[in-house]
Chain A
C-alpha cells in the first residue's frame, strides 16, 4: 500500500476535468473578490536541509532550558517531577503514532489505557463516571456549563472570580451560542469565593424568576482557586443545590492527594486540567482536560467514554460506549461536538498516577504544600512584600510587591535564571504589583532560599 499519493500537473488536470472545471481558479468563484488575496504571499525562498537545521537550532537556543531555570510559574500548569518511565512508555509507536484509535477490533491496548484513565479519575475526584479526556481544562469547564444548562433548563451560570481566566474566556465563547448568562461571584478578602455574595446572586436570580429556584443552572468553582487558595467549598455547594442548580468544581489533581475530593464536597461535575501530571509544561501545551460527573448525568456528558465489556466468548474487553450522545449518531442534538480525546497526554496522566500510587500522590502533595509554605514565609519576611490573601493555600500564593511585578519577573529571569512566577498584571491591570508564585515538590530547599535572596536583591536594585 502506498504511504503517500502525490499529485502533479497531470493528476491535477485530470481531477479538474473529472469535476467539470477547466482550472483551479474556477473552484474559487464563490469567494467574493474583496475577500481574495491577490498580492503574492510573502514566503521566503527555500532553504537547504542544513540551513533549515541551523535556523531551528538558533530559535531553539533562545528558549530557557527548564532543567537549568527553576520554575515558580504555575497558574494551571505546574512543574511537577515526571518519572522517566512515562516518556519511555508513551513513546512506544503503538501509542505515539496512532491517531485516536477507538476501533475495538484493533485497539484493545489503547482502549484499556483509556479505561484505566477514567477509573483513576473517578477514584481521585469521587465522581461515578469520567470520560476519555477533552482538549483542555477550559473546554472541560465550558462543557460542564452546557451540561448543567441542558439538565436544569436554565441559562444563568454563576462563576467564581477565582476560576482560571482562560477557562472563563473559553466558557464565554461557548456561552455565546446558547445564550448563557455568566455572572461573576466575587471573592472575599481572604481570597475565597464569597458565600454571602453567592447567596445574594441566587436570591436575585430567584426573585425575578418564575420557577422555584430561579434561573441559576450552575455554580463554577475552582479548588484550589486561581490564586492558590483552598475554597470552603461545602457551604457554596450547599447553597447552589438549595437553588436547584448543579455544582461544578474545577480541581487540581495533585492537590487531591491531601484535600477532600470534589465528590465528597458535593460536586455534581468535576473538571480540570490534568496536563501537569506526567506531561511537561511545554509552551503551555498540548493540554489534557478531564471531565467527570455523577452517574445520573452520564447520558448528557461530552466526549468519548470507554466501557468494560465481554466478547462472545466471555473474554474481558473494552469498547466505546453510549455513543448515541455523540454527533455521528445524534447529529445536531448531540450533547457536545467533542468526539475525540487528548489520548497521548491522557496516557501520560494514567502512567503518572499508576506509578505514584496513593502513597506517592499523598507525598507529592504534601511536599508541594510544605515547600510552598516555606517559601511563602521567607517572602513575607522581605520588607515591602506581603501576601495578597489571608486564606489557606496549597502550592501557590500571590504576593504584593512594592513595585510592578512584570519588570521584577523579567530581571530575575534574565539576570539570575529564575522563572519567578506569573505577573498578575497580565491578567488584571489592577493587580500589576502582584506576583503569583507556584512551588512544586521538584524545587529544592537551595532553590527556595535562592529565590528569596534574589527577590530581595532585585527589589533593592
Chain B
C-alpha cells in the first residue's frame, strides 16, 4: 500500500498535496484498489465552489460508485481532463497522473486538520484487519 509522505488524507480516502496556494486532490492507492477497475470519473466544472466534507464528484467502478468528498473549502481551478479519456490512469497512478482536481484553498487551517500519512496508514490497517 502506497501512502506518500508528502500528502494529507481524509477518512473517505482522498489525498491532498499542497503546491503553493493550490492543492491537488485525488483518491488513495487503497481506494483505487478497493474499487477495482475504474470506468468513469465524474468531476466538477472549473469555478465550482467546494465545501469540506461535501461531495464534488464520483468515481465509478464496474460494480460500485463512490462519491468524492472535498477535503477543504475551495474553488476548482483545474480538472484532470486526461482521466476523462482514460480513467484507468487512476488505478495505475492514484497519487500521480491520476490526480483529479486542483483547488484554491480558502482556509489553510483545514489542511492541518486532515490525517497525517501515519494516521491514514493506521486507518487503512484497521480496515484491512476487518477482512
B46 within 8 A of A: no
| Chain B: number of interface residues, binned into ranges | under 10
Residues of A within 8 Å of B60, CB to CB, are 299, 324
- B119 interface residue per 8 A CB criterion: no
Contact: B63 with A333, CB < 8 Å? Answer: no
CA distance A333 to B57 in the complex (A): 12
Asked if residues A329 and B64 are in contact (CB atoms below 8 Å), the reply is: yes
> Does any Cβ of B come within 8 Å of A330's Cβ?
yes
Q: Who on chain A is nearest to B58 by CB?
A: A333
Report the bound CA distance from A333 to B60 in whole Å: 13
Identity of the chain A residue whose Cβ is nearest the Cβ of B39 in the assembled complex: A324
Kindly state whether residue B97 has any CB partner on chain A within 8 Å: no
Which B residues touch A324, using CB under 8 A? Answer: 40, 60-61, 63-65
Complex Cα distance A324/B60, Å? 7
A330 to B60 CA separation, bound complex (whole angstroms) = 10
> Which of chain A's residues have a CB closer than 8 A to the CB of B58?
333
Distance to closest chain B CB from A451 (angstroms): 55
B84 to chain A, nearest CB (A): 11
Q: Which parts of B72-94 form the interface with A (CB within 8 Å)?
A: none
Contact A299 B42 (CB under 8 A): yes
Residue among B60, B63, B65, B67 with most chain A CB within 10 A: B65
B64 touching A333, Cβ below 8 Å: no
Specify which chain B residues have a CB less than 8 angstroms from the CB of A333 in the assembled complex.
Answer: 58, 65, 67
CB closest chain-A residue, reference B45: A153
A329 pairs with B63, CB closer than 8 A: yes
Contact bitstring A315-336, B, C-beta under 8 A = 1, else 0: 0000000011000011001000
Contacts of A299 in B (CB 8 A): 40, 42, 60
* Chain B, range 21-67, C-beta contacts under 8 Å to A: 40, 42, 58, 60-61, 63-65, 67
Once bound together, how far apart are the Cα atoms of A299 and B65, in whole Å?
12
Residue of B42, B60, B63, B67 with highest tally of chain A CB at under 10 A:
B60
A333 to B65, CA, bound (A): 9
CB nearest neighbor in A for B67: A333
Closest to A325 in B: B65
Distance between Cα atoms of A330 and B40 in the complex (Å): 14
Q: How far is the CA of A389 from the CA of B42 in the complex (A)?
A: 46
Smallest beta-carbon distance A136→chain B, Å: 28
Cβ contacts B87-116/A at 8 Å (1 or 0 each): 000000000000000000000000000000
- CB-nearest residue of chain A relative to B64? A329
Contacts of A330 on B, CB cut-off 8 Å? 65
Interface centre among A299, A324, A329 (most CB of B within 10 A): A324
A158 to B63, CA, bound (A): 36
- The residue on A at minimum CB distance from B65 is A324
A458 to B63, CA, bound (A): 64
Please report which residues of chain A, range 74-106, place their CB below 8 angstroms from some CB of chain B when the two chains form the complex: none
Q: How far is the CA of A324 from the CA of B87 in the complex (A)?
A: 16
Cα-based distance from A329 to B60 in the complex (angstroms): 11
CB distance from B43 to the nearest CB of A (A): 12
Q: A260 → chain B, closest Cβ, in Å?
A: 32
Min CB distance A302 to B, Å, is 15
What residues on B are CB-neighbors of A329 within 8 Å?
63-65
A 290-305 contacts with B by CB, 8 A: 299
Shortest A186–chain B CB gap in Å is: 33
Closest residue on chain B to residue A299 by CB atoms: B40
Distance in angstroms from A406 CB to nearest chain B CB is 52
List the A side residues contacting B67 at CB < 8 Å. 333
Please report the C-alpha to C-alpha distance between residue A168 and residue B118 in the assembled complex, in whole angstroms: 56
Q: Indicate with 1 or 0, residue by residue over A270-302, a CB within 8 angstroms of chain B CB atoms.
A: 000000000000000000000000000001000
- The residue in chain B whose Cβ has the minimal distance to the Cβ of A326 is B65
Report chain A residues within 8 Å CB of B65: 324, 329-330, 333
From residue B45, how far is it (CB to closest CB) to chain A in Å? 9
A331's nearest neighbour on chain B, judged by CB, is B65
Q: Please indicate the chain A residues that have their CB under 8 angstroms from the CB of B63 in the complex.
A: 323-324, 329
A299 to B42, CA, bound (A): 9
Q: Closest CB of chain B to A305's CB: distance in Å?
A: 14
| Residue interface bits A39-71, CB-to-B below 8 A is 1, else 0 | 000000000000000000000000000000000
Closest Cβ of chain A to B12, distance in Å, is 14
Q: Can you give 17 contacting A-B residue pairs, CB < 8 Å?
A: A299-B40, A299-B42, A299-B60, A323-B63, A324-B40, A324-B60, A324-B61, A324-B63, A324-B64, A324-B65, A329-B63, A329-B64, A329-B65, A330-B65, A333-B58, A333-B65, A333-B67
Residue numbers of A with Cβ under 8 A of B are 299, 323-324, 329-330, 333
Q: What are the 4 A-B residue pairs with the smallest beta carbon separation, nearest first? A: A324-B65, A324-B60, A330-B65, A329-B65
Given contacts A324-B40, A324-B61, A329-B65, 10 further A-B contacts (CB under 8 A): A299-B40, A299-B42, A299-B60, A323-B63, A324-B60, A324-B63, A324-B64, A324-B65, A333-B58, A333-B67
